[in-house]
C-alpha cells in the first residue's frame, strides 16, 4: 500500500510505502500474552528485590536485637553489682549506728 501526501498547495510530496508484517506462525493474542508475561517477570523481579530488601532489614534487626540483648545483660550485671554494694553499705551503716548507740550507752 502506498500513500501520497499533499501539502497546502496541493503539490505532491514524497511517497511513503507501508507494509504490514503478518506472522502466520503466531496465534492470536501472542503479543498480548508476551507483554503480560514480561510484566509478570518484571513484577517478580521487583518482588525479589523487595524480598532482598526485607531480608537485609531482617538481618540488620536481628543484629541490633543481639546487641541490645548483650547491652541488657551487661546492665543487669551492673545492677546486680550495685545492689550488692548498696546492701553492704546499708550493713556498714547499721553496724556503725549500733556501735554509736553502744558507745553512747556506755558513756551514760
Query: Above 80 in pLDDT, residue 107?
Result: yes
Of 1, 43, 41, the residue nearest 18 (C-alpha):
1
Residue 5 CB partners (closer than 8 Å, separation 6+): 12, 13, 14, 16
Instruction: For 17-63, write each residue's pLDDT tens digit.
Output: 665 555 556 666 777 787 888 888 887 877 788 888 888 888 888 89
Selected residue with higher pLDDT from 106 and 2: 106
Selected residue with higher pLDDT from 42 and 103: 103
In angstroms, the CA 4 to CA 67 distance is 77
- Grid coordinates given for 12: 505532491
Percent of the residues in the chain that have a pLDDT greater than 70, as a whole number: 74
- Grid coordinates given for 51: 524480598
pTM above 0.85, yes or no: no
Amino acid at each position: 500500500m502506498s500513500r501520497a501526501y499533499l501539502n497546502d498547495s496541493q503539490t505532491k510530496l514524497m511517497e511513503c510505502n507501508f507494509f504490514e508484517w503478518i506472522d502466520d506462525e503466531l496465534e492470536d493474542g501472542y503479543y498480548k500474552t508476551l507483554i503480560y508475561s514480561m510484566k509478570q517477570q518484571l513484577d517478580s523481579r521487583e518482588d525479589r528485590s523487595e524480598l532482598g530488601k526485607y531480608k537485609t532489614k531482617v538481618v540488620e534487626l536481628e543484629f541490633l536485637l543481639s546487641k541490645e540483648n548483650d547491652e541488657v545483660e551487661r546492665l543487669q550485671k551492673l545492677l546486680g553489682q550495685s545492689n550488692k554494694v548498696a546492701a553492704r553499705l546499708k550493713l556498714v551503716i547499721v553496724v556503725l549506728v549500733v556501735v554509736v548507740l553502744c558507745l553512747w550507752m556506755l558513756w551514760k
